[in-house]
Structure formats: C-alpha cells, structure tokens
Amino acid sequence: MSIVATEDMNYLAQQQSGKINMILAGMTALMNDIEGKASAMESQNWFQRMAKTIAGKNKLTLAEIRQNHEKMNVYLSEAIAELYNRNCIDHNVMMSLGVQINELYADHTQLKQMLGAFVGKLNEKIDSVDNFHMLVTEIDHGVYSQVPPIVAVCQVMSQFDNRILEDNRKLDIISRSLYAQNILSGNQIKLTEYLASILVLPMEDVGQIHLELGTIRDNFMASVILGVMESYYFLPDLARKMKDKRVLIKEIIQAGRLDASVSLSMDEIYDAFLDSKINVKNGLVSVRRESPINEDVTTSDIRDYAEITELGRASYVNEEDYSQAVKYFSIAAEGGYAEAQYWLGHCYYYGDGVAENKTEGFKWYMKGAQQDFAPAQCSVGCSYMNGEGIAPNTQEAFKWFMKAAEQGGPEAQYFVGNCYYYGDGVAENKKEAFKWYMKAAEQGDPDAQYMVGLLYSKGGAVMLDRTEAFKWFMKAAEQGNANAQLEVGKCYHGGSGTSQNYQKAEEWLRRSASQGNEEARQKMGQWYHQYVF
C-alpha cells in the first residue's frame, strides 16, 4: 500500500464485522460523492484517521477536501481492497459492495487504475457465489421475519447474486416465499412508519442495509432512507443517543418537502428496488485482469474473461465443439479466471477437446480451487479421493470437500456426508454424515436424498422413521437414482412407510433393474418365483 498507514489498516481490520460493514458503507458513500458526504462522515474514527494520514489533521475544510480529493480516493480504494485481501469483508455485504465498486469503476475514470486489479478479484469471487437455495430456505424458515419488512427486503436483496437476477423463475420463487412470510404484502404503510422502523436497527445491521440501499438508483424511497440513516447512524455515539428520532423524521420530511401522510405498500417498494437492481446490473461491464487474446479464436467483441468463459461453455454444452471450448477456456484460465480454470481442468480430466491428462486436469482444478471457486474445490476433493491426477489422500479430499460444502454446493455436501459416513479422511460419525446429507438433499441432490432415506430406514444416526425414509427414497427415485428406486420398490412390497402395493413395487424394481441394479433383478426374480407379482 502506498497511502494507507499500517496502523490505520490494522485498526480497520481489527473491527468487528458489523463495524466494518458501517465503515465500508461510509467509504463507498464518500467515494461516490466526496464533497457531499464528507460532513456526514467526518465524526467517524476511520475518516479522522484518513484525514490525519493525508493532511496531518483530523478535520478537513471543504477547500482541503477538494485539494486532497485524489489522495482520498486512493486511500479509500486501497483500504477496501486490503480489507478484502485480509478476508475481513462479511459475505452478507459482498454482493452490495461489489455492485457499488463496479459502478465506481465504470463511472469514474480517475478510479479505474486504482480499482482495476481489486475489482477483478472481487468479481471472480462474486461470480462463484450461488445464494439461491440457501436464501429461499432462510426465508421459508423465518430468518427474515423477525425484523421490519423494509429491513427484511434490504437484507434479502443484498444476497441476490447474478444468477438470481438473471433468472425470472428464481425471482418468482423468492417473491412467493416473501409473500408467504408476510414480508411482502399490498397493505399500505405510512412513510413515517417506514422511517421509524429504520431508526431502530441494531448497529451491527446498519452497514449491510446502507450498502444495499446504495445499489438502488433513481429511487425516491431508497434516497430518503439513506438520508435518514446518514443523519442518524453516522453521528458520534453521544450525539446519536441524544437525538430525538421523531424530530429527525420530521426534519427529513420538511427538508425534502415530503408528504408525511403518503403511504406505500411493501410489494410496490420491492418491485421498484428490484427493477433498479436489474437495470444497474445490466448497465455494468464486468472487470477482469487484462490479457492478450489468442489470435486463433475470434474474440473482437469480447470484453472480459467472464464472456470468454461463457463462449467456451456454449461451445462445450450446446455445440459440443470441445476443441473450440478448450481454446476459450485456456484464454480466460491463463488470465486467472477461476471458472475457466475449472472448465479447462474438466476438459483435461475427461479428454474433451484435448488429450486426456488427469495430472494437467488436477493442476487447473487446483488453480480454481485456490480462488475459492466451489466446483473446482469439489473436483480437487474427488481427485484426491480417487487418486487420479494426484496421489490419493483422503484427508486432503475431505478438506477440499468441506471448503466447497461450506459455500453451499450440494455435491460437495454429499461428499462430506460420505467422508463422515465411511470415515474417509475424518473420524466416522453417522450423525454428522446425516447433517451434511440433509443439507444436500434439501437442495435436490438425489444421491444425498437416497442416503437420508437409508439413515432414516436404519435408525441410530437419526431416529428410525420409515415414513420419512420412504419420502426421501421417492424423491431420489423420481430423479433416476437406481438404488433409491430399488428401495421404493421394497417399501411398496413390504408396506414400509407407505401402503402395500405390489403393482408399484414391480414398477419401481423394473426401473432400477433397467439401470443395471443387480439386487433389483434378483428381487424381481425372487418375488416372481413366489408369485408375489
């Protein structure tokens, strides 16, 4: 770092996550409008440290702010990037922060050089995130139902990754879950009530809400709430405690010439916020580290490594042009893009478009895994478990499966369950295995669903429950899991967890046998011999 003092950086990094979120909210607000936001931030310790480092004193006049404008932007850019490098940024604010940093990069020529490398790394991290299943589960379990609806909406939307914003089906599922929890409704609520609910936020939640609202552009409600938050939460502690919240709301309404009696519904606010987020996303250009383009590939209109990787995926999945896919993946992988490194590893591992070379495949998997790309981490785990491309090492396999599982990947969660179930790389623990199998099963992984059914049918690790066992066997069977189809057939045959039905037993055994399940074939022969069918 060239400007941020070491003691300043250590101070920032030592703060609790809620406080760091507040600091990030203040820093991004300041970078968007240094002259306009400086007075709101000047009482903050981080601002005073910055002023001291840059100008030698804790408080700056407007003239001094203008004079040191560029230095302040450099300081703020370096501080945010170093907090990221030190893993100090809470995953709950990663999406909101990413949107704001990308906007700053796109809109401010002065900031491009300062932010370029950091934005590339941040975007790679964000691109690897898939929050959908976990977010829906949290909404359905009432995680966001204990706070005012306007706060809940901001917290939920702060977890919208690119995959969610690009998929209307996912957005519809989230919307229905929010309605089911009464977070969204058509009930009209006064503006003053919304503002009052914002002023009772726990301090640890303020930064997250401020950062998310900062991604909402050209929206009346978001602007008003941001004004309220900056007029209250960025005050010194003593001044904030003495502030009359009702008077503050009245002042905000009068200053903005607002109608205190106006009412809005939460579904109106949500729809407007969502439209803004989608418009902002569609207007942004992702940033990656620059790299020369392979002249063998036509890439004149390609803007970044994400697009190059997507071209590779299209060649691989849709056109089945594996050699062309390898060319695209190689460009982005050599440039350091984690998803491309994973795909290039996949091509080498299975010999798609290039001579099969599991050692080379493992090398590229590992490059992606070291950047926290969950699919690559899972593939590294499989390589270690199977001893393909690297010497077998079950402890290393478990380590990499766990890294991916903690990011929410169902396949990795299933493998973690297997490690605990069989004692591979970790002490055998059937209860812990059940926990991880269930995480994957709830996300629709058929192999995990089968194992959940198996554990319910055996008891021990979990209470014996044949009805639950049948339910999970059926979920897996309907997705084509041959072992689960066998178990469903056995359940129908014996009336275990469901009513006895020989016709359905035969149907499911046939499905399993048609996939080569030897036990299903034997059972069918045995039961035919006994005239059961």
Which residues are CB-contacts of 40 (< 8 A; sequence separation ≥ 6)? 29, 230, 231, 234
DSSP state of 44: S
pTM across the whole model = 0.54
Q: What is the mean pLDDT of the chain?
A: 86
Q: Does 473 have pLDDT greater than 90?
A: yes
Q: Report the C-alpha gap between 94 and 125 in whole angstroms.
A: 9
Return the percent helix, strand and coil in the chain, to nearest 5: 70, 0, 30
Handedness of CA 517, 522, 528, 531 (dihedral sign): negative
Distances (CA, A) of 442 to 133, 411, 412, 449: 9, 12, 13, 8
Handedness of CA 439, 445, 447, 452 (dihedral sign): positive
Q: Report the C-alpha gap between 176 and 164 in whole angstroms.
A: 14
What is the rounded average pLDDT of the residues 468-478? 94
Q: Does 66 have pLDDT greater than 60?
A: yes
Instruction: Transcribe 354-365 into DSSP letters.
Output: S---HHHHHHHH
Q: Per residue in 204-223, is it b (16+ CB within 10 Å) or e — as a string?
A: ebbbbbbbbbbbbeebebbe
Q: Does 209 have pLDDT greater than 60?
A: yes
Neighbours of 230 (CB within 10 A): 18
Q: Which long-range contacts (CB under 8 A, 24 or more apart) does 272-277 make?
A: 272/219, 272/221, 273/153, 273/157, 273/216, 273/219, 273/221, 273/222, 274/157, 274/171, 276/215, 276/216, 276/217, 276/218, 276/219, 276/222, 277/99, 277/157, 277/160, 277/165, 277/215, 277/216
**What distance lies between CA 263 and its chain's CA centroid?**
33
Q: Does 501 have pLDDT greater than 90?
A: yes
3-class DSSP string for 174-230: HHHHHHHCCCCCCCEEEHHHHHHHHCCCCHHHHHHHHHHHCCCCCCHHHHHHHHHHH
Residue type, 78: E
Question: What's the pLDDT score for residue 295?
Answer: 40
The pLDDT > 90 percentage for the chain reads: 43
Asked if residue 228 lies in contact with residue 248, where contact means CB atoms within 8 angstroms, the answer is: yes
Least trusted range by pLDDT, from 194-198, 225-229, 282-286, 345-349: 282-286
What is the rounded average pLDDT of the residues 268-289? 75
The region that residue 328 occupies, defined by phi over 0 for left and psi between -120 and 50 for alpha, beta otherwise, is alpha
Q: Report the C-alpha gap between 136 and 132 in whole angstroms.
A: 6
Which residues are CB-contacts of 7 (< 8 A; sequence separation ≥ 6)? none
Helix (H) or strand (E) holding 36: helix 34-41
* 282 token code pair: 């569609």
Instruction: Tell me which range, 24-28, 218-222, 281-285, 383-387, is most confidently predicted by mean pLDDT.
Output: 383-387
Residue type, 88: C
Question: What's the pLDDT score for residue 76?
Answer: 87
Residue type, 532: V
Q: Report the C-alpha gap between 328 and 299 in whole angstroms.
A: 9
451 three-class SS: helix
Q: Does 1 have pLDDT greater than 50?
A: no
* 138 token code pair: 């949290």
What is the rounded average pLDDT of the residues 91-99? 85
- Phi/psi for 482 (5° steps) reads -65, -40
Question: What's the pLDDT score for residue 289?
Answer: 35
Tens digits of residue pLDDT in 236-254: 888 888 889 899 999 888 8
Handedness of CA 523, 524, 525, 530 (dihedral sign): positive
Question: What's the pLDDT score for residue 402?
Answer: 95
The pLDDT > 70 percentage for the chain reads: 92
Q: Does 102 have pLDDT greater than 50?
A: yes
Question: What's the pLDDT score for residue 107?
Answer: 66
Question: What's the pLDDT score for residue 299?
Answer: 38
* 39 token code pair: 């007075």
Rg, the chain, Cα only: 27
* 329 token code pair: 């993946």
Q: Does 105 have pLDDT greater than 80?
A: no
User: What is the length of the chain?
Assistant: 533
Helix axes 305-317, 322-334, angle to 10 degrees: 160
Question: What's the pLDDT score for residue 455?
Answer: 95
Q: Are strands 263-265 and 188-190 parallel, antiparallel or unpaired?
A: antiparallel
What is the rounded average pLDDT of the residues 63-76? 86
Q: Does 357 have pLDDT greater than 90?
A: yes
Instruction: Transcribe 234-260 into DSSP letters.
Output: TS-HHHHHH--HHHHHHHHHHHTT--T
Tens digits of residue pLDDT in 295-340: 444 433 334 688 888 888 888 876 567 888 999 899 888 888 889 9
